[in-house]
Amino acid sequence: MQDLPPATFAPLRLGLDYRPALVNGEGIGRATRELVRALTALKTGEGPPARLGLFGWTLAAAKFARHELGLEGGPLVQSKLSRLRLPTRASELLLPWVGGADGVVGAGSPGAIFHHTQPARLPVCAAKQTTMLWDAIYLDDEGRPGGPWVEQKTAESMAASARQAVANSAAIFAPTDYVRDDLIAKFGLAPDKVITVGLGCDHIQAPDLASVPTRPPFVLTVCRVDPRKNHLAMLSAFERLVHEGAPHHWIVAGPVGWHFEEFEVALEDSPAKERVHWMRQVPETTLLQLLTTCDAFLFASHAEGFGLPPLEAMGLGRPVVASNTSCLPEVLGNAYQPVDPNSPDSIFEGLRAVLFDSARSQELRHLGPLQAAKHTWSRAAKAHLAAWQDLARS
C-alpha cells in the first residue's frame, strides 16, 4: 500500500478592523495594536497558522509608523495591511462593491473570520463575523440606552451598533467576565455566544530612570475627563489630603470628554488648584515616565470594561487606589487599595493608606507586578485565535 503524504491544512484566514490601531491613542487603539503585535509574535505550535488581513481604510493620518506597529509577521501568523486614505462614509459605500472589508483583506469566504474591534461595523460580505464589545455601560439595568455615564444620543447610537453586532456576529468577545455577564443579561444572549478573551498589560516597559525629570511627590490619574471617571470625587478627596498637610501634587492625564466642564469649573474654584495639573495631551514617553514615578495611581471610576491604566501602573510597581466596583476587582485582584467611588471620604482614606502607611505601600508594590503578570497579550492572542479556530471549524 502506497504511503500517503502527511495531511496539510490551509492557514486560517482572518480579517480584522485595524483602524483604531492606526489613529486612536487611547484604550481601543492600544488594545488593537497590542493584540495584532502579539498574534504576529506567536510561535509555531502556539495555535493554528493564520493569514491576517488588516483593514486600515481611514481618512485620518496614522499616528504610528509601521515599525512601531509590529506588522512584520511571524512564523505562525502572517499579517498584511490594506491602507487607503478614505472617509468612513466613502468606505462604507464602496466596500459592498469590492467584496466587503473581508474581501479586501483576503478573508472573503464562508470559511474565514472577520473581527470587528469596535461596535461601529464595516460591511462584510462572506466571512463569519466576531465583535469585541468592550462594555455595556451605555445601557441601563433594563437594557435601555441611557444612564448617567453616557449622553443620551451617544447611548442610543452605541446601543444600536451593539445590537447590530449581536445580530450579525457568530460570537461576541468580552474583555472580562464582568462584561461577559453584563452583555448576557442586557442583550439576552446565549452564554456560549459570549467569550471572555482578556487583554494584556505587558506592553508597558519602565524607562531609563536617569532620563526621567525630577518632580515633587505626586498622585497620577490617567483617563478621559467625564462624569463616569469620577474626577469630582477624586478632586474632593485630594483637597482633603492637601488640607491635612500632604505635600503631593495631583497630575490628571487625559483629554476632555462629555461634561468635562464640570471638572474644569470645580478645579478653578478648588483650594488645591495650584497642586492639580491637568495634562490634556500627553506624549507616550511622558506618560510612561509619569506611570513609572508616581507615588500612587488613583482610578476611582464608576464603571469600566477592563481598566487598563491601573493595571499598567501595577505592572510598573506603583501602588494603586481604585474603585471596588464593575470589573476592577476581577482585573486588579487583591493587589490594590479598593475604595467606594461614591464616597470622597473612602477615596481619601485609600490615598492616605498607600501614601503614608509604608507597610501597605510596600505590600502593593510587591503584589502589583505579580497581578499584572497574569494579564499578557500572548495569552489574549491565543484566546482570540482559539475562538476563531473553533468558529471556522463549526
Cβ neighbourhood burial of 196 (10 Å; 0-12, 13-18, 19+): middle
- Provide the pairing of β-strand 171-174 with 194-196: parallel
**What is the grid cell recorded at 78?**
502572517
Report which of 308, 229, 294, 289 is spatially closest to residue 263, judged by C-alpha positions: 229
Question: Is 296:319 a contact under the CB 8 Å cutoff?
Answer: yes
Per-residue pLDDT of the chain (394 residues; tens, 9 = 90+): 344 333 345 889 999 999 999 987 678 899 999 999 999 999 999 989 999 999 999 999 988 887 788 787 788 999 999 999 999 889 989 999 999 999 999 999 989 999 999 988 899 999 999 999 999 999 988 888 887 888 899 999 999 999 999 999 999 999 999 999 999 999 999 999 999 999 999 998 888 877 788 899 999 999 999 999 999 999 999 999 999 999 999 999 999 999 999 999 999 999 999 999 999 989 888 999 999 999 999 999 999 999 999 999 999 999 999 999 999 999 999 999 999 999 999 999 999 999 999 999 999 999 999 999 999 999 999 999 999 999 998 8
Res 1: pLDDT: 38
Question: What angle (nearest 5°) sits at the alpha carbon of residue 222, between those of residues 358 and 285?
Answer: 95
Nine-digit cell string for 97? 462593491
Distance of CA 43 to the CA centre of its chain: 24
Could you give the CA distance from residue 93 to residue 90 in angstroms, rounded to a whole number?
Answer: 5
CA dihedral of 218, 233, 137, 308, whole degrees rounded to 10 = 10
Per-residue confidence (pLDDT) for residue 2, from 0 to 100: 42
> How far apart, in whole angstroms, are the C-alpha atoms of residue 268 and residue 23?
32
Instruction: Report pLDDT for 6.
Output: 39
- What are the chain's domains? 12-200+376-393 (3.40.50.2000), 209-372 (3.40.50.2000)
The predicted structure's pLDDT at residue 9: 58
Q: Which residues pair with 321 in a beta bridge?
A: 298, 337
pLDDT confidence of residue 57? 94
The set of cell numbers assigned to 47 is 495555535
